[in-house]
Amino acid sequence: MRNQRTLLAFAILFVATLTAAQDTVSSVLKPPKGAQVAIVVFEDLECPDCARAAPLLEEAAKTYNIPVVRHDFPLPKHPWAFDAAVLARYFDTRSKKIGNEFRDEVFRRQLQITPASLHAFAEKFAADRKLDLPFVVDPQGKLAAQVTADRELGTRIGLEHTPTIYVVSNKTQGKPFVEVVDRSQLFAMIDTMKRE
């Protein structure tokens, strides 16, 4: 009897955990309000493959007039990725457009950036836009907490690599999201999602 109760308790816990994970996936992998279809990407600013994918995602967004929802997923093996994500979040506070411009510029100049040169790179980026960049961009750690929250979100939905790219829709029947494994299929996947 005791073993049955223990087994039942484990079964309930397992189902609750699985339901929570599915709820997390459903809440993350959907387009922003007002959009029918979107691209959701989890990226690491130091990841060479993310740098290669970024122009394609931008091209798809412009071609289809759909949003790209970017999430930070800095990998522990990349020494400056987390700090770059915090800087991008700082520029987001100026405007989301400037934050995304910073991310794209990091991808373009990725091979020139080191942990020691990252802040100077961000200072030049800010100066070119006539913005001030404080020496300490995140004194309370709020921006770092946002980056950490994104990374934990990615972990909860089972991410294993960057970039992880999804085409998502707000449809309620069938599969509302699909992972883009072969980037050459991105446009076809968007076409399919828009038709359904």
Q: State the residue range of the domain holding 27.
A: 2-195
**Closest CA relative to residue 70, chosen from 46, 89, 49, 90:** 89
Per-residue pLDDT tens digits for 65-87: 999 999 999 999 999 999 999 99
pLDDT at 21: 39
Q: Are strands 164-169 and 177-179 parallel, antiparallel or unpaired?
A: antiparallel
**pLDDT on residue 16:** 41
pTM of the entire predicted model: 0.84
Q: At 94, is the secondary structure helix, strand, or coil?
A: helix
- Nearest CA to 89 out of 75, 76, 78, 103 is that of 103
Domain count, the chain: 1
Tell me the C-alpha distance between 149 and 147, whole Å: 5
Q: What is the CATH number of the domain that holds 110?
A: 3.40.30.10
CA pair distance 53, 39, nearest whole angstrom: 12
Where helices occur in the chain by DSSP H, the ranges are 2-28, 48-64, 81-94, 96-108, 118-128, 142-156, 186-195
Q: Return the sign of the alpha-carbon dihedral for residues 48, 180, 98, 59.
A: positive
pLDDT values of the chain reduced to their tens digit, one per residue, 196 residues: 555 555 544 545 444 443 443 445 566 899 999 999 999 999 999 999 999 999 999 999 999 999 999 999 999 999 999 999 999 999 999 999 999 999 999 999 999 999 999 999 999 999 999 999 999 999 999 999 999 999 999 999 999 899 999 999 998 777 899 999 999 999 999 999 998 8
